[in-house]
Chains A and B, each alone.
Chain A
Amino acid sequence: MVREAITSRTRRKFIKSAGVAGTVALAGCAGNGDNSGNNDGGGGDSTNTDGGSSGDTRSESYEITFWELFSGGEGPIMESIVNKFNEEQPLDTDAEVTINRQRTPWNEYYNKLFTALSGGEAPDMAIMHAAYLRAWDGGIDAIGSYADTASIKSDYTASHWDLVTVNDNVNALPMDMHPIGVYYNKDLFEQAGLDPESPPTNWEEFRQAGDAVVQNTDAHAFTQSPYNDGFGSYRVWSSWVKQQGGSLYDEEWNPTFDNEAGQNVAQLFSDMTGDMGWSKPTSEANWGNNAFQNGSCAMAMNGTWYVAALANVDGLNWGFFEPTVGPNKQQDKVWADGHSIVLPKKQGRSDAKSEIAAEVAHWMTTQNPSWGAEAGHLPAANSIYESDAFQNSPYYDKTLNKYVEMAEDGDYFYHPKVPNGDPNAQNWYTWLVDIWAQNSEPQEAIDSGIQTVSNGISE
């Protein structure tokens, strides 16, 4: 397939260099590949969206439809990247390539993408969390079919490349990685008699810090997730389970988290809102986010993206530390997932257009330091790590350098790429919220969680 990609591009270049007016139609064929059914012949139609010939100075034009799910601080950055592409036309091709971006809110995104895919109306290019790359295997064209993955592999860090690889197939190009960490309120640390510049590095210090906040201030000590959506709780819970050496799934993708480590951490969640008094026992969705942002909660665990939300809060004096502070720790393990760019399967999309889409995905993931520098994510491209834009990011010293450090130490484990079902489904993890809100006993909740997740995967 790689050879085909090169051949097709070479053919287009040859046709253009010949400069013969009569080859316009041929160029149309080359550009349109196997999709001649959608092309009305091309002549003079400069807005042809499927790679037909325009007969203009640029002999081809492609409109790549692109779906994404970014909101908050990330949304405008993705928008600016797309605008930059459309203005600069950075690809090494004479064809005019434009990206037509469509944003759908994250909680509706995958349902909508799935419906579009199964209805044959998929976009040419889409953002996808790496955790979906196995379950969605049948719905995406492996990027290796349209890009020379052997030669671009070295553009990305090994851990990101690993993130998008399923059963030795490279299913997508990695955009970023977004692990979690602990965000803390320096002013509350000071009030509690703690050194705000020396945040906890292990369980004993973390426990002491939380207790000090509860004893010496009016604030709450900790929220396991700002959003109480279950999934947020899972990031923390699974990290601490893995830190204790517990497993989450076996090789057949049966959930195994009803083990000693899983039970310990579930009990800890229950204690945090119970005996330890660290937090309010609530399932209220935004309680933690409000409490952390208005300065009445000292510590919140969340992902890389949280910097964009915190940047908009005036007067919040916050710091960050690594979340490797779970009890009974045997190893440093931190939950991570990442955004990748996939080419959803779409009948009738020409090979040429798929190749262009793969090139666009490569450009987006390797040429845009702003994605890491401004959105706070760990960028996938090696070159960006060394770029001035990334190193001079306002978040570099606050969060990014610690995320990089954890990556270099190999601390990350990935959100399970389950073979079926929705690994980000909220109802897979609501049992954790029920523990937190003291609605369920830990063991009862774990049993219910095992049941839900098993059903979700087997369906």
Chain B
Amino acid sequence: MGLRKETIEGVLWSIPYLAVFTVFLIWPALKGLYMSLHTYPNKFDLTETEWVGLQNYVELFQDPVFYNAMEGTLLFVAISVPALVILGLIMALGVNRDVAGKRTLRAIYFSPYVLTVAVVTLVWGQVYSQSYGLINYYLGFFIDNPPGWLTSPDLVMAALAFMTVWWLVGFNFVIFLAARQSIPERLYEAARLDGATGWRAFKDITLPQMRNSVVFVVMVQFILQFQVFAQPYVMTQGGPKDTSDTLVYYLYRSAFSQQQFGYGAAMGYVLVAILIIIAIVNFKVIGDSND
């Protein structure tokens, strides 16, 4: 009977969370699924719905704008996620050493993370400006026509990704630093006695010991960066030549500018499916051998 009491207590303690979870996550998710299978013939009255089955999904996979947005998103993820992970790791291992001013460095590394995306995009919009931006001001001393960072189709995604790495890397840095500091020093002492230092110690001790954190950070960054929205929305509106369009920005335009709620919801579900696949692959590739 004790177990029974424990069970009841456990359920009772879970209820507040489950209630919030249901109202704000499960219910909207189900509602989203419902929307993705319908269209709204009268956009001013969303109580009128029309069942269309998988038509929104079929249209989506025939839509060139969707593929373009997908391409943009993948490019952004391909640049930003490795940089966020590797740079965060290097920074964490760097200030884990006994370097002068490491506390100050830690504060500096983390500080951009506390800014909101609105502030970050406003500040970097100025920094990147082609004619009066900070970067081109200094580049102007060396070259005649510095490029437009947000106005060149070849550079824009890299510029958005660079800014995002500057903004978010502090979070990974903190996670990695905590993970590194939890590795017992005796492992390194033993390795030193066996003659293993430097790269060998990093490969055989540091990385395996930090695997959980690495899996966590890679996963979180994939999920976050796949949903990139505010950077193109505020800074480039998907341009130039639609090269900085992304999935969530297109989803937003479909649902809220074109009032195609079913189509937007379908896109949301495709995004979820992609993220689930990425999560599974992530676990298989870097997380599975963890015992």
Contact = CB atoms under 8 A, between A and B. Distances in A.
Interface of A: 110-111, 114-115, 117-119, 136, 138-139, 229, 280, 282-284, 286-287, 290-291, 345, 421-422, 425-427, 430, 433-434, 437, 439-440, 455-456, 459
B151 A283 contact: yes
B253 interface: yes
Nearest to B63: A455
For A229, A345, A426, the residue with the greatest tally of chain B CB atoms inside 10 Å of its CB is A426
A115 B237 contact: no
B240 A433 contact: yes
Contacts of B150: 284
A283 B156 CA distance: 12
A434 B241 contact: yes
Contacts of B258: 421-422, 425, 456, 459
Contact of A430 (B148, B239, B256): B239
B238 interface: yes
* Interface size, B (range): 20 to 34
A422 B257 contact: yes
Given A115-B256, A283-B151, A284-B151, 19 more contacts: A114-B43, A229-B237, A282-B130, A282-B131, A283-B239, A283-B240, A284-B130, A284-B148, A286-B129, A287-B130, A291-B131, A345-B44, A421-B258, A425-B257, A427-B253, A456-B258, A459-B258, A459-B260, A459-B263
Nearest to B249: A427
For A286, A426, A427, A433, the residue with the greatest tally of chain B CB atoms inside 10 Å of its CB is A427
A437 B240 CA distance: 9
A146 B242 CA distance: 45
B142 interface: no
A221 to B, nearest CB: 16
Contacts of A345: 44
A202 B151 CA distance: 33
Contacts of A459: 258, 260, 263
Contacts of A229: 237
A290 B130 CA distance: 12
For A111, A119, A345, the residue with the greatest tally of chain B CB atoms inside 10 Å of its CB is A111
Interface string B143-178: 000001011010000000000000000000000000
Contacts of B238: 427, 430
Contact of A440 (B45, B129, B241): B241
A345 B43 CA distance: 13
For B151, B239, B257, B260, the residue with the greatest tally of chain A CB atoms inside 10 Å of its CB is B239
Nearest to B59: A459
29 contacts: A110-B257, A114-B43, A115-B256, A117-B44, A118-B45, A118-B46, A138-B42, A138-B43, A139-B43, A282-B131, A283-B148, A283-B239, A284-B130, A284-B148, A284-B150, A287-B130, A290-B132, A425-B253, A425-B257, A425-B258, A427-B238, A430-B241, A433-B239, A437-B148, A437-B240, A439-B153, A439-B241, A455-B65, A459-B260
A430 B242 CA distance: 8
A111 B256 contact: yes
B49 interface: no
B235 to A, nearest CB: 9
Contacts of A119: 46
B239 to A, nearest CB: 5
B239 A287 contact: no
Contacts of B240: 283, 430, 433-434, 437, 439
A136 B240 CA distance: 30
B44 A139 contact: yes
Given A425-B257, A434-B240, A439-B241, A282 B44 contact: no
B227 interface: no
Contacts of A138: 42-45
A193 B84 CA distance: 56
B259 interface: yes
Given A117-B44, A138-B43, A284 B241 contact: no
B256 A114 contact: yes
B242 to A, nearest CB: 7
A119 B259 CA distance: 13
A364 B80 CA distance: 51
A282 B128 CA distance: 13
Nearest to B46: A118
Given A118-B44, A434-B241, A282 B148 contact: yes
A290 B263 CA distance: 39
Contacts of B241: 430, 434, 439-440
A266 to B, nearest CB: 15
Closest 9 CB pairs of A and B: A139-B44, A283-B151, A111-B256, A284-B130, A138-B44, A283-B240, A118-B46, A439-B241, A439-B240
